[in-house]
Amino acid sequence: MIRDSGLADLHAHLTTSIHPSIYWRIAHSQGFKLPKKDYHEFLEYVTLSINKKTTMKEYFDTIYHPLLNKLSSGTYAVEEGTYEVISGAYRSSGINLIELRNNPMKHNHEGQEDLDHIIMAMLRGMERALLEYPKVSAGIIFCLDRQFTYEKNKIIVEKAIKYRKRGVIAIDFANYDTGMFHFNEYSDLIEKAVREGLKVVAHSGETDDTNDMWEAIEFVKPKRIGHGIKAAYDKKLMKELVKKEIVLEICPLSNIATNAVENVDELRFIIRTFIENKVKFCINTDWPEIIKNGKLVEQFEFLNKHKILDEEELKRYNSIALTSSFIPGKNLSAYL
């Protein structure tokens, strides 16, 4: 079994990696009012599947940001959430390398709590998990937001630099653009982050066109790109990805559930096109606990069952994830 050799997940968001039962517990322990009184109704309300799709924008605007981010805000929720995600991924999927991403400014109740307290809570959650599961390695990626002002994003980069030695390993660009965002404004800030030892990744080529990926490559110079699936329709871009050795973090079920990819056939076309063109990629979860059967082992089974990747290929692309990780060492020792 592939999971015996240890799996790596390089693209998972804190908000969508917390199991609804944990949200349920956290919410009740803090007295939060939930939109559903019954657990199973809540579960149905927040989860997606390949048969219960939405668009990323709709899910972001109705559930992800207003509900799940709120429930995973505050020091208690952030610490518990981070701890549960890292330890749960190891227990259920045999994931022994996980890079967990989030925007700390989305977990402080709109600025009501101090950002350093939120970040420290996150790192405490990670340290507790690493102490309990010594075979696990983990790191935190801070997501900048395409809808934030440059000044707000700059604060996130400064915090990432500040906590670099404690487990913040990279910065990312996330959320959908409302027409205000330009990668070229971030060149200096990114250079500074890299100089300080951080790695850089960017969500791109998921729902937007490949122009965005070209810009990301030019101005961000990322080691990896989150999703990047639209490159399968741009030969020149695939050549560029190969030349620059950029690894695509493919998240199969999340792409189907959010309509970034139409169906299994399109997913198969995209992944086989990348293989034919020698584009490096790895398989990740993105939203493992919010998409039904979205855990990494389940996604591997899905790809195998639908003849998208065979056992050998799954092993090969898992090893690309292992070697493309930004985590600077093994287990807790990485930060000691």
Binding footprint of Zn ion on the chain (CB under 5 A): 286
Q: DSSP strand E in 193-325: where?
A: 199-204, 224-227, 247-250, 281-283
Provide the minimum distance between the beta carbon of 255 and Zn ion in the complex, in angstroms, as a whole number.
10
Name the residue nearer to Zn ion (CB basis): 294 or 331. 294
Q: What would the 3-class secondary structure string for 289-328 be?
A: CCECCCCHHHHHHHHHHCCCCCHHHHHHHHHHHHHHCCCC
Task: Answer for the pair 315, 303: CB distance below 8 angstroms, yes or no.
Answer: no
Provide the minimum distance between the beta carbon of 64 and Zn ion in the complex, in angstroms, as a whole number.
11
Local structure of residue 35 (DSSP, 8 states): S
Q: Phi-psi bin for 167: left (phi > 0), alpha (psi -120 to 50), beta? A: left
The closest of 33, 11, 4, 17 to 204, measured between CA atoms, is 11
Provide the minimum distance between the beta carbon of 104 and Zn ion in the complex, in angstroms, as a whole number.
16
Name the residue nearer to Zn ion (CB basis): 27 or 156. 156
Provide the minimum distance between the beta carbon of 39 and Zn ion in the complex, in angstroms, as a whole number.
26
Name the residue nearer to Zn ion (CB basis): 84 or 206. 206
Name the residue nearer to Zn ion (CB basis): 9 or 286. 286
Name the residue nearer to Zn ion (CB basis): 127 or 286. 286
Name the residue nearer to Zn ion (CB basis): 145 or 286. 286
The CB-based long-range contact list for 107-114 (8 Å cut-off, 24+ gap) reads 107/14, 107/69, 107/72, 107/73, 107/74, 107/77, 107/78, 108/73, 108/74, 109/70, 109/73, 109/74, 113/73, 113/74, 113/75
Q: Which residue is nearest to Zn ion (CB)?
A: 286
Provide the minimum distance between the beta carbon of 203 and Zn ion in the complex, in angstroms, as a whole number.
5
